[in-house]
């Protein structure tokens, strides 16, 4: 229930909005202070149309990075707000493990700008969480982000298309082939998936894009169910060599 305007000044005085990274007082909810805003590395064009990797120069339209030329992704692109680093990671970690559920709205508000390129038949599908982790955590952060993105854009969301049938072990140290096999076996389609998403463009929502294994596993199933296009939406994208820079 929204707070009545009559009580807003009292609450703002007692609990003023704070920067979600450093905690200093800011002018409004879901806003960064100037220092943290300037230190976030926002991702903008030009980027690889396959994986969203920022490119050093503006190449020909629809250009792929070297990795995507060698091994094209199953999905149709990545739209990430920022590069994953020590600051941006705090947003994802505090949402996922710190119960700062309001950060899902912050992420969605930044993702909203990417939806201008999405067709009218788009639908939001959050990356599923295994039921044991869902019980332990109490929520799926991707569903929270997807719900807020649906609220601010009017695009419908369906979280009952794919499900996670097993917990995957840490993928670090695995070869690409091992990662694909491990993650592919962790997701399954629900029996009515084709009726839900056939012929639609999917916005696959997650908090962080790392190696792309999870996104590709989900995209493979979504396309098997008849999805025309799968575009990955996330808060942060891991870029090798940049995480602690």
Report DSSP letters for 65-126, one per residue. Answer: -HHHHHS--SSS-EEEEEE-STTHHHHHHHHHTS--TTHHHHHHHHHGGGGGGS-TTEEEEE
* Residue 173 confidence (pLDDT): 67
CA neighbor of 120 nearest in space, from 229, 11, 26: 229
* Residue 180 confidence (pLDDT): 76
* Residue 24 confidence (pLDDT): 96
* Residue 10 confidence (pLDDT): 43
pTM of the model: 0.89
Q: Please indicate, yes or no, whether residues 93 and 167 belong to a single structural domain of this protein.
A: yes
* Residue 153 confidence (pLDDT): 98
CA gap 223, 202 in Å, rounded:
9
Q: Please indicate, yes or no, whether residues 154 and 85 belong to a single structural domain of this protein.
A: yes
Q: Please indicate, yes or no, whether residues 139 and 23 belong to a single structural domain of this protein.
A: no
Residue 8 lies in a domain: yes
Reduced to 3 states, what is the DSSP secondary structure of residue 34?
helix
The domain in which residue 7 lies consists of 1-37
- Please answer whether residues 77 and 226 qualify as being in contact, where contact means their C-beta atoms are separated by less than 8 angstroms: no
Residue 54 lies in a domain: no
- Copy the structure tokens of residue 37: 């805003």
- For 201, phi then psi, to 5°, come to -95, 130
Q: Please indicate, yes or no, whether residues 26 and 98 belong to a single structural domain of this protein.
A: no
Q: Are strands 201-209 and 162-164 parallel, antiparallel or unpaired?
A: unpaired
Divide the 245 residues of the chain into consecutive groups of 10 and give the mean pLDDT of each group: 47 72 93 96 93 82 87 96 97 94 96 96 96 91 98 97 85 71 87 96 96 93 97 95 50
* Residue 177 confidence (pLDDT): 73
Q: Please indicate, yes or no, whether residues 10 and 128 belong to a single structural domain of this protein.
A: no
* Residue 222 confidence (pLDDT): 98
* Residue 7 confidence (pLDDT): 44
Residue 59 lies in a domain: no
* Residue 122 confidence (pLDDT): 98
- Please answer whether residues 126 and 163 qualify as being in contact, where contact means their C-beta atoms are separated by less than 8 angstroms: no
Number of domains present in the structure of the chain: 2
Q: Please indicate, yes or no, whether residues 105 and 219 belong to a single structural domain of this protein.
A: yes
- Please answer whether residues 187 and 162 qualify as being in contact, where contact means their C-beta atoms are separated by less than 8 angstroms: yes
């Amino acid at each position: 229930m929204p707070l009545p305007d009559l009580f807003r000044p009292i609450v703002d005085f007692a609990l003023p909005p704070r920067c979600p990274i450093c905690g200093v007082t800011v002018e409004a909810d879901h806003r960064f202070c100037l220092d943290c805003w300037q230190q976030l590395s926002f991702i903008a064009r030009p980027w690889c149309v396959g994986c969203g990797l920022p490119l050093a120069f503006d190449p020909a339209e629809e250009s792929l990075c070297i990795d995507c030329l060698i091994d094209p992704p199953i999905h149709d692109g990545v739209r990430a707000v920022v590069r994953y680093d020590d600051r941006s990671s705090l947003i994802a970690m505090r949402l996922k493990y710190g119960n700062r559920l309001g950060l899902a709205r912050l992420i969605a508000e930044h993702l909203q700008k990417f939806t201008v390129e999405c067709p009218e038949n788009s639908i939001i599908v959050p990356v599923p969480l295994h039921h044991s982790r869902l019980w332990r955590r109490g929520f799926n952060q991707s569903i929270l982000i997807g719900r807020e993105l649906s609220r601010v854009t009017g695009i419908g969301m369906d979280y009952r298309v794919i499900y996670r049938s097993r917990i995957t072990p840490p993928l670090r140290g695995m070869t690409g082939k091992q990662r694909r096999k491990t993650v592919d076996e962790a997701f399954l389609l629900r029996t009515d998936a084709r009726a839900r998403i056939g012929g639609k463009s999917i916005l696959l929502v997650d908090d962080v894009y790392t190696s792309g294994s999870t996104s590709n596993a989900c995209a493979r199933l979504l396309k098997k169910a008849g999805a025309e296009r799968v575009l990955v939406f996330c808060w942060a994208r891991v870029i090798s060599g940049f995480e602690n820079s």
